[in-house]
A and B are shown apart, each in its own frame.
Chain A
Amino acid sequence: MQQYIEWGALANVVLVGLLVGAGLPALFALGVRALAGTGAKDEAGQVRTGRKVLAAVAFGIVIATIVAAVAYIAAGGH
């Protein structure tokens, strides 16, 4: 089978694919949970500051990765 499947490339696709393809949605979900999950709001109904920072970091990484992906496509990588 060695001649038919490039195992090295395939392993890379699976591993990095899991990291990015599952990691980004998980980060996004973390951001959503930080803003709207149980305990996100204090007594006054405001989202706690720590939660806001956590959400900003999570969404920030997601957006940065998407921008990087578009740049990568534009650079002819795809």
Chain B
Amino acid sequence: MEHVTEPLLLGIVVATALAFDFTNGFHDTGNAMATSIATRALKPKQAVLLSATLNMVGAFLSLTVAATIAKGIVDSGVVTLEIVLAGLAGGIIWNLVTWLFGIPSSSSHALVGGVVGAVLAAAGTGGVLWAGLVAKVLLPALIAPLVAILVGTVATALVARITRDVPQDTNDRMFRWGQIGSASLVSLAHGTNDAQKSMGIILLALIAAGAVPSDSSVPFWVIVSCALAMALGTYTGGWRVIRTLGKGLVELESRQGMAAETSSAAVILLSSHFGYSLSTTHVATGSIMGSGVGMKGASVRWSVAGRMFMAWLITVPAAATVGALAYGLDRLVGGTAGSYVVFGVLLAIAAFIWWWSRRKPVGHHNVNDDWEPVADAEAILAEAVVDHELSEAADGPVTVPDARERES
């Protein structure tokens, strides 16, 4: 390894890329499996195991990995290892924060946002290709859910109409199989698509550090470690996000779940086939909303949906801010030490968010509990804090809704 410049820095970037891969799997499990869990087509543990396995298979299936990051969105000439590190930090922190609030948000948009912020801090506004950012990231974030809502609505309405004289228990039993099949397809597509991104980042870092020649293909250990990191993340299960998607948006039954997942799989695969890639998260969320619109008697909780749309709009600016701060910190400390500090701070923040999440844990045991609509994100936090205080004080009869009124 004597040709490698700064091997420790390279190690940190690779570790951070794998961490991002982990949060990606962990954050996006719900896209494929939330509906199957909510309708009890699969037990929560079975669902995440199936999804993790298919994600891993998908990661090995991916054949074309490009050593690019945010291609067409930032000037590739200015991207350095420090920028990649800061960008990854932005992506990871945004993924963790949205997970804490149970909001599904696009992992790839978070990564792009982090890199854009780091590039802005490093090279100024000239380093960002603004037209590319609008065309490839911002507008698709608005378009994807609309397309998916349309397809999901039509699919659900057709299914509901065709099967209206079939007994409910027969419908549930048979559509569960369709649901499991279509959800599996979404998992597989996710593994192929998103594991590639982390592989590309690691390859880019290896090339930049001189560890492999610039025309190298992806080393086998990179494929294995990316596949494992994503599968592990998926298996850990972002239960908070799963809960929001499966229980928060729409009360689902199997027919809706099957229609929604098929709509997601179709739109995701077709969009990449026609060269207009749409985020898996945005599509999956839109399809689930559509399954509420298309079903008589079902309703979409638009307040929850509205909070998601807001989160999607601020994904790029928020992750960019973190990316820029991380890059600034890196430069401020200076040298290789700067990158160590960024890595350390990232670990500390991640640990803090995890600790915070334990105050009101969501796991496979309570993921399907009844949904209590909450007005806004602050209220969830307030509720979590109040709950915590209540459980500490253990003073019986005060209920959570009362506590929320007291807070507001």
| Interface residue ranges, A against B (CB under 8 Å) | 3-6, 9-10, 12-14, 16-18, 20-22, 24-26, 28-30, 32-33, 35-38, 62, 66, 69-70, 72-74, 76-78
Contact = CB atoms under 8 A, between A and B. Distances in A.
Interface in B178-202: 178, 181-182, 185, 188-189, 192-193
Interface of B: 58, 61-64, 131, 134-135, 139, 143, 147, 150-152, 154-156, 158-159, 162-163, 165-167, 170-171, 174-175, 178, 181-182, 185, 188-189, 192-193, 255, 258-259, 262-267, 269-276, 278, 287
Given A9-B275, A14-B147, 8 more contacts: A21-B262, A26-B159, A26-B162, A36-B170, A62-B178, A70-B185, A73-B58, A76-B62
B188 A21 contact: no
Given A30-B162, A70-B185, A78-B189, A22 B154 contact: yes
B247 to A, nearest CB: 22
- Tell me whether chain B's interface is mostly helix, strand or loop, or mixed: helix
A78 B155 contact: no
Contacts of B143: 5, 10
A21 B163 contact: no
B265 A5 contact: no
A74 B262 contact: no
Contacts of B171: 32, 36
Contacts of B151: 14, 17-18, 21-22
A13 B61 CA distance: 24
A33 B147 contact: no
Q: Which of A13, A26, A69, A77 has the most CB of B within 10 A?
A: A13
A32 B175 CA distance: 8
Nearest to A5: B139
20 contacts: A4-B131, A4-B134, A4-B135, A9-B274, A10-B147, A13-B267, A13-B278, A14-B150, A18-B151, A21-B262, A21-B263, A22-B158, A25-B156, A29-B159, A36-B170, A36-B171, A37-B163, A66-B181, A76-B61, A78-B273
B188 A25 contact: no
A29 B276 CA distance: 30
